Amino acid sequence: MIDPVALRIGPLAIRWYGILISTALLIGVLLALREIRRRGIDEDKFMNIILVAIPAAFLGARLYYVLFSGHLDYYLANPGEILAVWHGGLAIHGGVIGGFLAGGLMVWRYNMPFWTLGDIVAPSLILGQAIGRWGNFFNQEAYGYEVDPEVIPWAMWIDGAYRHPTFLYESLWNLLIFGFLLWLRRHPKIKEGEVLLSYFVLYSTGRFFIEGLRTDSLMLGPFRIAQLISLTFILCALALIWYRRREEKSKIYR
C-alpha cells in the first residue's frame, strides 16, 4: 500500500499530491515566464494575472467537484466542508474554467493580448496536468475498471484488483500534447490563439476516451460530466479555429 503522505512534521502531514501540484505549478510558471521574456511582454503584469488565476483555478476545481459529486445535499448542510480541499475532491475541468475566467478578466483589465498569452500558457498547463496526475497514483484514485493482467500487462494493482491505470494514460497523453504544443507554437503557419485552442481539442479528446474507463466519474444524471465538458470544449475550439481562419481569409480578399 502506497503512503499518500510524503513527510510528517508533528501534526502536519505533507502529501505527495500537494508536492506534485506545487511542483507542477512552479515548472509551469517558469516555463511560461521564459516565453514571456522572449516575447518582451510585461512580466509583472503576467505574474499578477497568474497570482489571480491560480487561486481561482483551485476554487473552480473545488466548486465543480462539489456540484457534481452527487453529495451536494451534504455540502449544503455542511457549508464548512465546501472549501475543505484537504478532505479530497478537486476536478481539473473546474480548475481550467475558473483559472481562465479569472485570468481572462485580468487580461482584459490590463488590455493585454488574450490569444498570445493563451498560447504561452497552454504548454505549461498541459505539462502541469501531466505531472499532477501522478498525485492520483499516490492517492490510489482516478483508476479504471478491473482487467485481466494477462490481457492488459500494464494494469496496476489498486484497491484489491488489477485495474486500468487511467491516471497514467492521461499523464502520458498530456506529455505528448505538451511536446506537440511546443512544436506548434514555433510553426510558421500557425495562427495566434491556435496553440491554446489545440490544447482544448487535444486534451479533451484524450480525456473523453480515458474518462470512459474510470470508475469514479462525476455524473450529471446518466452522463459522465467530464465527457460532456470535453465534447463542449472540442466543438467550441474547432468552431473558433474555423471562424477565425474564415474571418482572416475574408479580410485578405476584401
- 80 and 143 assigned to the same domain: no
What residues form DSSP beta bridges with 9? 12
- 213 and 125 assigned to the same domain: yes
- Whether the CB-CB separation of 89 and 65 falls below 8 Å is answered with yes
pLDDT in tens, 160-187: 899 999 999 999 999 999 999 999 999 9
- 181 and 143 assigned to the same domain: yes
Least confident of 11-20, 30-39, 169-178, 194-203: 11-20
Residue 1 confidence (pLDDT): 66
pLDDT in tens, 189-234: 899 999 999 999 999 999 999 999 999 999 998 999 999 999 999 9
- The domain of 93 spans 42-111
φ and ψ at 161, to 5 degrees? -160, 160
Residue 229 confidence (pLDDT): 97
- 126 and 250 assigned to the same domain: yes
Would you say residue 12 lies in a domain? no
Would you say residue 13 lies in a domain? no
Would you say residue 240 lies in a domain? yes
251 pLDDT tier (thresholds 50, 70, 90) = low
Would you say residue 1 lies in a domain? no
* Dihedral, 17, 23, 26, 28 alpha carbons, nearest 10: -90
Average pLDDT, the chain: 93
- 143 and 251 assigned to the same domain: yes
- 131 and 196 assigned to the same domain: yes
- 77 and 36 assigned to the same domain: no
Specify the pTM.
Answer: 0.93
Grid coordinates given for 223? 452522463
- 163 and 70 assigned to the same domain: no
Rounded mean pLDDT, 96-117: 97
The number of domains in the chain is 2
Residue 156 confidence (pLDDT): 92
Percent share of the chain, pLDDT over 90: 77
Residue 11 confidence (pLDDT): 84
Residue burial 124-154, b: 16+ Cβ < 10 Å; e: rest: bbbbbbbbbbbbbbbeebbbbeebeeeeeee
97 vs 4, higher pLDDT: 97
- 247 and 157 assigned to the same domain: yes
Residue 119 confidence (pLDDT): 98
- 35 and 62 assigned to the same domain: no
Would you say residue 14 lies in a domain? no
- 159 and 98 assigned to the same domain: no
Residue 206 confidence (pLDDT): 98
Grid coordinates given for 54? 491560480
- 149 and 46 assigned to the same domain: no
248 pLDDT exceeds 80?
Answer: no
The whole-angstrom separation of Cα 233 and Cα 61 is: 16
Would you say residue 253 lies in a domain? yes
Would you say residue 49 lies in a domain? yes
Would you say residue 5 lies in a domain? no
H or E element at residue 8: strand 5-9
Last residue of a domain, one of 111, 143, 158: 111
